[in-house]
Amino acid sequence: AQSVTQLDSQVPVFEEAPVELRCNYSSSVSVYLFWYVQYPNQGLQLLLKYLSGSTLVESINGFEAEFNKSQTSFHLRKPSVHISDTAEYFCAVRSGNTGKLIFGQGTTLQVKP
Amino acid sequence: ETGVTQSPTHLIKTRGQQVTLRCSSQSGHNTVSWYQQALGQGPQFIFQYYREEENGRGNFPPRFSGLQFPNYSSELNVNALELDDSALYLCASGGETGELFFGEGSRLTVL
């Protein structure tokens, strides 16, 4: 069965510092990979996705993630975080064309002033 | 703004009761999925509907059931509520591009 492991449950970081949220997945077939962000008391918002093509994908608010097939990883990075980036971040994998997403347990990003 | 709306946003039920949660998907999205997110956990897949038929189910008992309607709306029904059913229930719709768009969720508390 597929699984997603987010290696850090909490990541505290100071404002304007770089951050990396780690995600590993297990799969033997082609996958689609996603990062979602969840602010308190809200639903999930798609941050970025890898479906095919370039292994480096970027979001509009400065986050990027790199698909690494050999290491089965899809780590999320941002070179300089803001207070407003404080949220829960979920990595997810979707196999083939099914609608089922497998989520990791989430990583709480805490940006401190 | 994902175009996916859910109702109600919050509700409280007692053990043994039944609940119906509703979702309105984006126009043109023929797939709708439901997820359960317990406090402090990642969302868990309940089931998916495609063109009004269930075509995938997670590890949830039959008392979790659903419907999808031609007008892009759907329902999640849970019978014989248990305390552990307390969670945020998320609806997601998707089209041909592969990603899912989530609603804000319905937070269910079972007492």
pLDDT digits (tens, 9 = 90+) for A80-105: 999 999 999 999 998 666 668 899 99
Query: How large a percentage of chain B has pLDDT more than 70?
Result: 95
Write down the H helix ranges in chain B. none
The two three-digit tokens of residue A76, written as one number: 């999320």
Nearest to A77 by CA among A93, A94, A92, A59: A59
Mean pLDDT of chain A: 90
Instruction: Give contacts of A 38-97 with B, CB under 8 A.
Output: 42-46, 49, 51, 90, 92, 94, 97
Average pLDDT rounded to a whole number, residues B1-21: 93
Please indicate whether, in this complex, the C-beta atoms of B33 and A32 are within 8 angstroms of each other. Answer: no
Beta strand ranges found along B1-111 (DSSP E): 5-7, 10-13, 19-24, 31-37, 44-50, 53-57, 64-68, 73-78, 87-94, 100-102, 106-110
Lowest mean pLDDT among A14-18, A35-39, A71-75, B94-98: B94-98
Q: How far is CA B34 from CA A111, B9, B96, in A?
A: 31, 15, 18
Write the pLDDT tens digit of every residue in B59-94.
999 999 999 998 889 999 999 999 999 999 999 998
**Residues whose CB falls within 8 Å of the CB of residue B34, separated by 6 or more in sequence, listed in order:** B23, B45, B46, B47, B48, B66, B74, B76, B89, B90, B91, B92
pLDDT-derived band at A31 (thresholds 50, 70, 90) equals confident
Residue A110 is predicted with a pLDDT of 97
Q: Which of B9, B100, B109 has the most A C-beta neighbours within 10 Å, making it the best mutation to test the interface with A?
A: B100
Average pLDDT rounded to a whole number, residues B39-67: 92
Residue B51 is predicted with a pLDDT of 86
Average pLDDT rounded to a whole number, residues A29-45: 87
How many residues comprise chain A?
Answer: 113
Q: Name the strand (E) or helix (H) holding A48.
A: strand A44-50
Average pLDDT rounded to a whole number, residues B48-64: 91
Q: Answer with the residue of higher pLDDT: B35 or B100.
A: B35
Q: Which of A34, A35, A44 has the most B C-beta neighbours within 10 Å, making it the best mutation to test the interface with B?
A: A44
Q: Answer with the residue of higher pLDDT: A90 or B56.
A: A90
Query: How large a percentage of chain B has pLDDT more than 90?
Result: 72
Query: How large a percentage of chain A has pLDDT more than 90?
Result: 66
Residue B86 is predicted with a pLDDT of 97
Residue A28 is predicted with a pLDDT of 59
